[in-house]
């Protein structure tokens, strides 16, 4: 991590995501990760989830105009060096976020990189995105993404491609790229048969990069996806190029999973790591 000295303005990153009252995922995970990675974190909250280690028992969506206004006021005053989206809850919020990104120069065709974590459900299977909003993720969000970071369930929901073995990952990546992001990182952590965890980064320019790592024997992985995408976003905010930022993010999540801890009666979170 490289933080400037006292009194010096650091690089900044913005997360547009949902609150996890249990503190393990969502906005809380993103802000912890941004801090640990040496950037100033900002948040535009899209939904307030009612959540603990046992799961999500409900959520309250924030009005789309309030989401848009949060993004506008922080980026026009403080400025964001990179932006990430997590839980977006509804098609209305997705459309508002997409329009605001265009207005503020955020996204693959613009100056400020946009990392889209296409969050659909929690690891307990609780829905975090209206079924009717999947089309908006495909049609208005992914075409604006510099990088998207789906897990295997999200790949299936977005493209219909079912990944059951490592050899399917390339086909899955191509199907996601056809929806318009510049890069896709397929998180293969749920390929349980593998003893290690090889994620695949593929670019629309033909780049193919395997990111191997050990599989840690922990069930406490709550917030893992958010934390990986947030670490990549922080590295982009620090000025790293995309491939380098994804390698930094992968290193960070491996350490965060290795340091995960039990909490409550259910699933504990991955840790922040200094």
Residue numbers of the site for ligand PLP (CB under 6 A)?
Answer: 17-18, 20, 25-26, 49, 51, 56, 86-87, 119, 122-123, 128, 222-226
User: Whole-angstrom Cα distance, residue 261 to residue 63?
Assistant: 34
Q: Please spell the DSSP secondary structure of 57-126, one letter per residue.
A: EEEEEPPHHHHHHHHHHHHHHT--SEEEE---BSHHHHHHHHHHHHHHTBSTTSSB-EEE----B-TT--
Q: What are phi and psi of 254, to 5 degrees?
A: -65, -40
Burial letters for 112-140: b for 16+ Cβ neighbours within 10 Å, e otherwise? bbbbbbbbbbbbeeeebbbeebbebbbeb
In terms of CB distance, is 181 or 223 closer to ligand PLP?
223
Reported as half-sphere exposure (CB side, CA atoms, 13 A), residue 266 has a value of 14
Compute the least distance from the CB of residue 96 to ligand PLP, in Å. 18
Of the two residues 10 and 13, which places its CB atom closer to ligand PLP in the complex? Answer: 13
Minimum separation from the CB atom of position 19 to ligand PLP (A): 6
Residue closer to ligand PLP by CB (options 81, 122) is 122
Q: How far is the CB of 259 from ligand PLP (least distance, A)?
A: 15
Closest CB to ligand PLP: residue number: 26
Q: How far is the CB of 99 from ligand PLP (least distance, A)?
A: 22
Complex with ligand PLP: residue 25 or 98, whichever CB lies closer: 25
* Shortest Cβ 52–ligand PLP spacing (Å): 11
Identity of the residue, 10 or 43, whose beta carbon is nearer to ligand PLP in the bound complex:
43
């Amino acid at each position: 991590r490289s933080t400037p000295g006292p009194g010096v303005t650091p690089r900044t990153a913005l997360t547009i995501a949902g609150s996890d009252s249990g503190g393990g995922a969502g906005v809380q995970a993103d802000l912890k990760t941004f801090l640990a990675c040496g950037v100033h974190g900002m948040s535009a909250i899209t939904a307030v989830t009612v959540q603990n280690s046992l799961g999500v028992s409900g959520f309250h969506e924030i009005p789309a105009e309030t989401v848009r206004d949060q993004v506008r006021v922080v980026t026009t005053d403080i400025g964001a060096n990179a932006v990430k989206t997590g839980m977006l809850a509804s098609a209305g919020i997705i459309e508002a976020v997409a329009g605001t990104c265009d207005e503020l120069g955020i996204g693959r065709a613009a100056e400020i990189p946009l990392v889209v974590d296409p969050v659909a459900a929690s690891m307990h299977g609780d829905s975090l995105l209206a079924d009717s909003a999947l089309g908006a993720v495909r049609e208005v969000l992914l075409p604006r993404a510099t990088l998207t970071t789906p897990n295997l369930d999200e790949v299936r929901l977005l493209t219909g491609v079912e990944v059951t073995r490592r050899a399917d990952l390339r086909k899955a990546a191509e199907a996601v790229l056809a929806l318009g992001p510049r890069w896709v990182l397929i998180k293969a952590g749920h390929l349980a048969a593998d003893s290690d965890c090889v994620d695949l980064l593929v670019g629309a320019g033909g780049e193919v990069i395997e990111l191997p790592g050990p599989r840690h024997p922990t069930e406490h992985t709550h917030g893992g996806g958010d934390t990986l995408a947030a670490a990549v976003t922080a590295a982009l905010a620090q000025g790293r190029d995309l491939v380098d930022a994804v390698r930094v993010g992968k290193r960070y999540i491996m350490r965060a999973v290795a340091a995960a801890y039990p909490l409550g009666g259910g699933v504990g979170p991955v840790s922040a790591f200094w």
